[in-house]
Chains A and B, each alone.
Chain A
Amino acid sequence: MRIVCPFCGERELGEFTYLGDAKPVRPEAGASEDEVFDYVYLRDNVAGETSEYWYHGGGCRTWLKVTRNTLTHEISSVEPAAGAGAAKVGA
């Protein structure tokens, strides 16, 4: 599996770090316990095409949104997603 970084070109997998599914959105402060529980613990765990966040730590150090098929590892698109990791983990 190689990822074509929009800034650096095609790079080997070892340069990237995986965060996970890009779909869940961190709930607003004051969200209900159910919403927070859902965000932190429950996953669609898609078998097929899904979008996810990867960090190009071995290159441009940019967050990327990668659309990838979990059944085949085929990657269909890679887009910049600046700040995605911080927004997701609340850093």
Chain B
Amino acid sequence: MKYSIFSLARAALSGHKNWQRTWRDATPKDRYDVVIIGGGGHGLATAWFLASEYGIKNVAVLEKGWIGSGNAGRNTTIIRSNYGLPGNTGFYELSMKLWERMEQDLNYNAMVSQRGVINLYHSDAQRDAYARRGNTMRINGIDAELLDLAAVRKMIPFLNFDNARFPVQGGLLQRRGGTARHDAVVWGYAHAASALGVDIIQNCEVTGFVRDANGKVTGVETSRGKIGAGKVGMAVAGSSSRVAAMAGLRLPIESHVLQAFVSEAIKPLIPGVITFGAGHFYVSQSDKGGLVFGGDIDGYNSYAQRGNMPVMEDVCEGGMALMPMIGRVRLLRQWGGIMDMSMDGSPIIDKTPVDGLYINAGWCYGGFKATPGSGFVFAHLLARDVLHEEAARFRLDRFRTGAMIDEKGQGAQPNLH
């Protein structure tokens, strides 16, 4: 169905009892041109771009649970394109531009809200690093403003500016950054992809790959039977190593747990997204009023989707250092998601050494903002067999050739990215 002010009015007049399902819960066919493993934002976006941009509509998205039950429903909903390294800068801006037209493209309200993202700096060295990143963004046509202390005071006066150890000196602001409603992004892509004929198949766990005599992947074994495929793309985030292992591959990835938190709802307080530069703490306020915040990954390998106390404490300390008044707000919920931490902190979108199998992985804890861009370039790769120019550096073999994209400069220690 098509959503509009008129459909809303019609539904309201009939007591909201006649809304139709927004996407089809399909049963698997024997064969598809493309099978995508993983019904998160990236997998569904890939399916939609395959159908809408590349004309490949015989597509299935296989999800072992329900769509959006993994990291797509567990993140802190931030969107931004403030990356400094070649490879990342252009890609994330491509993604940002797709966010800006997503709701029109999908006919779905994803509550994309460009309320601004500000990264605070607390030292001269950090200011210089942020100025450099801002300049990199600007020469690539991305908006960035370096704010001094007075400008930050005017914009967000409630910060603890006089923190003795970490005084706020200013910030790097991207006004086009902001937040989007994560569940609506999943449903929006499902809605639009399903309308173009994509089969979304839930409770369908991939248990193995079907290979021909030459080793080419020709389908998948699933908990709902065998499904043939011309090509198979995997977009399974924290489960990347487990799925790749079924094809005999080892990846430059470790799975780590990242926690996120939401407070009880309060009146409007936080105007956009604020990040603390002297620790790791980022916060925004949802439209329901809860403060949504997070910090570092826990730092040890985990598939448990829950974290531990030291990081909770560290995150809350970061928040208290920045805005002490939130100390009286109660924490409502806390949860964990499994991040596919790559060895340089940047994603991998590429063919794999196994013919017919394509990988979209390694998003670390920054995959949400990449959702539309990731879907677009992965669809490009699946449709054309060549990497999109904005994703040309996200190669799987860059760890062998040395062409790493290490935004944080930590080296091959994934728990530090």
Contacts and interface: CB of A to CB of B under 8 A. Distances in A.
Contacts of B309: 12-14
Interface string A28-60: 000000000110111111110010100000000
B253 A45 contact: yes
A71 to B, nearest CB: 5
Interface residues of B, number: 25
Contacts of A1: 308
Contact of B415 (A13, A20, A38, A45): A20
Contacts of A13: 308-310
Contacts of A14: 309-310, 313
From DSSP, what is the main secondary structure of chain A's interface residues? mixed
Contacts of A12: 309-310
Interface string B380-405: 00000000000000000001100000
Contact of B300 (A43, A44, A52): A52
Contacts of A73: 302, 304, 306, 308
Interface string B292-308: 00000001111110101
Given A37-B400, A45-B253, A47-B255, A71 B303 contact: yes
B223 to A, nearest CB: 17
Interface of B: 241-242, 250-255, 299-304, 306, 308-310, 313, 343, 399-400, 412-413, 415
Closest 7 CB pairs of A and B: A45-B241, A14-B310, A41-B399, A41-B252, A18-B300, A42-B250, A47-B303
7 contacts: A13-B309, A17-B299, A45-B242, A46-B301, A70-B302, A70-B304, A73-B304
